[in-house]
């Protein structure tokens, strides 16, 4: 299909022209470029995913390089290595950011052509959605108008 070919060409261009923005990733880029490109190319050919995956994998690969790990897709996409990166490689990141980074790296690993993955580790706890308002909070917002508004609209009032 023509769109698939265009998407693949755009993704290939992104892989070729990508330059990491983060300090750690930019510093290690000469050493990590090939492994990052191979890992991302193995998991997607869609330009939107390629762009997103490159930034995440480049920082992860830079951390792996700093740890002295072999820079191969098999090592980078190993669930235990991903988990170790999340635990010790992102100490300054918020739990929600770490959870997102881990989810993206796991997705890349799952979509690549590597052997089946081990069971997933325990989720990182963080609040996803605020709990709903309590009735007292609603009354406070409306200044007591919620009861009078509900009564005004009821069929038993003033026919």
Q: What pLDDT digit, counting tens, does each position of 45-85 carry? A: 777 788 888 989 999 999 999 999 999 888 888 889 999 99
- The answer to whether 37 and 74 are in contact (CB under 8 A) is no
At 128, give phi and psi (nearest 5°): -90, -45
Higher pLDDT, 100 or 158: 100
Residue-averaged pLDDT of the chain: 80
Closest CA relative to residue 88, chosen from 111, 104, 64: 64
Backbone CA torsion sign across 17, 65, 116, 100: negative
Per-residue confidence band for 114, with pLDDT thresholds at 50, 70 and 90: low
On the question of pLDDT at 42 being above 60, the answer is yes
pLDDT of residue 5: 54
- The answer to whether 35 and 71 are in contact (CB under 8 A) is yes
Higher pLDDT, 31 or 155: 31
Tokens (6 digits) for 140: 């406070």
Composition of the chain by helix, strand, coil, percent to 5: 65, 0, 35
- The answer to whether 67 and 36 are in contact (CB under 8 A) is no
């Amino acid at each position: 299909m023509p769109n698939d070919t265009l998407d693949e060409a755009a993704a290939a261009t992104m892989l070729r022209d990508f330059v990491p923005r983060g300090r750690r990733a930019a510093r290690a880029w000469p050493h990590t470029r090939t492994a990052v490109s191979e890992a991302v190319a193995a998991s997607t050919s869609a330009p939107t995913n390629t762009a997103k995956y490159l930034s995440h994998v480049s920082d992860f690969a830079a951390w792996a390089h700093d740890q002295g790990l072999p820079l191969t897709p098999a090592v980078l996409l190993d669930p235990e290595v991903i988990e170790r990166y999340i635990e010790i490689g992102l100490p300054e990141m918020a739990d929600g950011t770490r959870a997102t980074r881990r989810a993206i790296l796991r997705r890349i690993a799952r979509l690549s052509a590597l052997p089946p993955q081990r069971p997933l580790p325990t989720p990182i706890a963080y609040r996803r959605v605020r709990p709903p308002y309590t009735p007292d909070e609603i009354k406070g917002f409306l200044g007591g108008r919620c009861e009078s508004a509900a009564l005004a609209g009821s069929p038993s009032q003033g026919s």
